[in-house]
A = this chain, B = another copy of it.
Amino acid sequence: MNYKKVYSILNKDLKIIEKELENVLEADSPILKESSLHYLQAGGKRIRPVFVLLSAKFGDYNIDTVKDVAVALELIHMASLIHDDVIDDAYTRRGRPTVKAKWDNKISMYTGDFILALSLEIITSLEDHNAHKILSDTIVELSVGEIEQIRDKYNFDQSITNYFRRIKRKTALLIAASCKLGAIAANVPSHLQKKLYYFGYYAGMAFQITDDILDFTSTEEKLGKPVGGDLLQGNITLPVLFAMKDPELKQKISTVHELMDPDELHNIIQLIINTDAIQKSNQICTMYLNKAYEMLSDLPENDTKLMLKTMLNFIGKRNF
Instruction: Give the B-binding residues of A (Cβ under 8 A).
Output: 27-29, 31-32, 35, 83, 86-88, 91, 96-97, 99, 102-103, 105-107, 109-114, 116-118, 120-121, 124, 127, 129, 132-133, 135-137, 139-140, 142-144, 146-148, 150-151, 153, 258
Contacts and interface: CB of A to CB of B under 8 A. Distances in A.
Determine chain A's interface SS by DSSP, over half rule. Answer: helix
B87 A91 contact: no
B133 A121 contact: yes
Question: Max chain B CB contacts within 10 Å: which of A111, A118, A124, A142?
Answer: A124
A107 B150 contact: yes
Given A116-B113, A151-B31, A258 B136 contact: no
A136 B150 CA distance: 28
B109 A144 contact: no
A117 B80 CA distance: 13
A87 B106 contact: yes
A147 B99 contact: no
Given A97-B97, A116-B113, A147-B32, A121 B107 contact: no
B143 A117 contact: yes
Given A83-B109, A121-B137, A99 B143 contact: no
A86 to B, nearest CB: 6
Nearest to A79: B113
A91 B83 contact: no
A31 B148 CA distance: 8
